[in-house]
Structure 1
Amino acid sequence: MEEQTIFEITHNMDKITNKLIIQWNKLFYEDLGVSHILILAHLMVSGNSRPSDIARTLGLTPATVTHLSEKLVRKQLTVRITDESDRRVIYLGITEKGSDILHKAEEYGKELRRNLFERLTNEEKDQLLSIFEKLNE
């Protein structure tokens, strides 16, 4: 594969990602970014979690998770929970309000994906899925 082609692929992937983020910000009026939603989704699936574990799982820095969680706590979408056996350990937990926002975000996300992929045939969607799975291995 030519180097130029690799850069073209990377550039186009970035353009798609940026386009989705711009569309997300136009649709979702909750003053939350994609990373905030990823944290809420992690908490929904994994339950109460230490920020360092969230960072590792999502590929973020601990400082980034700390910054993002400040807003989530301030908006009452998450709470900080102190470990009773070791008061130095803090967990984040999702609140009912956070759960509601996550469900709303998932609906908007479905709409965005539907709009993005509706131009593709079923065969093209299968090919794209296969390519993404292969790249993720």
Structure 2
Amino acid sequence: MKEKTIFELIHSMDQVTNHLIIQWNKMFNESLGISHILVLAHLKENGKSRPSDIARALGLTPPTLTHLSEKLVQKKLATRLVDDNDRRIIYLTITDKGLDLIKKAQEEGKTLRKNLFEKLTDEERQQLLSIYGKLNDSIRK
């Protein structure tokens, strides 16, 4: 059997990821991308946050975060708060509407994962989790 090159491996991983993104966008139908949901999830998990901190945590550029947050504020999924002690500092915080949307996104995500990963055996799912865990650990070092 021919050994796959690193490029074939990356391409194969990209194909699965792209398929998941396309399927999720079709299911979710909220005119928001996955990056918007990641920002909301960050706010849910961490509470009010400075946009620069969110950008750093999610691996986004500050201008990208500005664009994403503008849409979230427009849709009333997040709000901007000014720091009481230093009016130059702005925070983003999630709204109740944003929390409801996160819940919906998570439910849709569960359905998507179930549909994809049910094709794998329990052992294969555990191997995949182990492999991705190992890769993620090596990236963080």
Establish whether TM, by shorter chain, passes 0.5.
Answer: yes
**2:52 paired residue number:** 52
**1:121 paired residue number:** 121
**1:105 paired residue number:** 105
Gaps of 5+ in 2: none
TM-score by length of 2: 0.94
Structure 1 runs of 4+ with >4 Å offset: none
Gaps of 5+ in 1: none
Q: Relative to structure 1, is the Cα distance of residues 79 and 3 closer, same or farther in structure 2, using a 3 angstrom cutoff? A: farther
Distance (whole Å) between structure 2 residues aligned to residue 132 and residue 4 of structure 1: 18
Supply the AA of the counterpart residue of 2:111. E
**2:131 paired residue number:** 131
Q: RMSD value over aligned CA atoms?
A: 1.2
TM-score by length of 1: 0.96
TM superposition shift of 1:3:
8.8
Distance (whole Å) between structure 2 residues aligned to residue 14 and residue 25 of structure 1: 16
Calculate percent identity across the aligned residue pairs: 66
Distance (whole Å) between structure 1 residues aligned to residue 27 and residue 110 of structure 2: 12
TM superposition shift of 1:5:
1.9
Supply the AA of the counterpart residue of 2:30. E
Aligned residue pair count: 136
Distance (whole Å) between structure 2 residues aligned to residue 76 and residue 85 of structure 1: 25
| Secondary structure in structure 1 of the residue aligned to 2:80 | strand
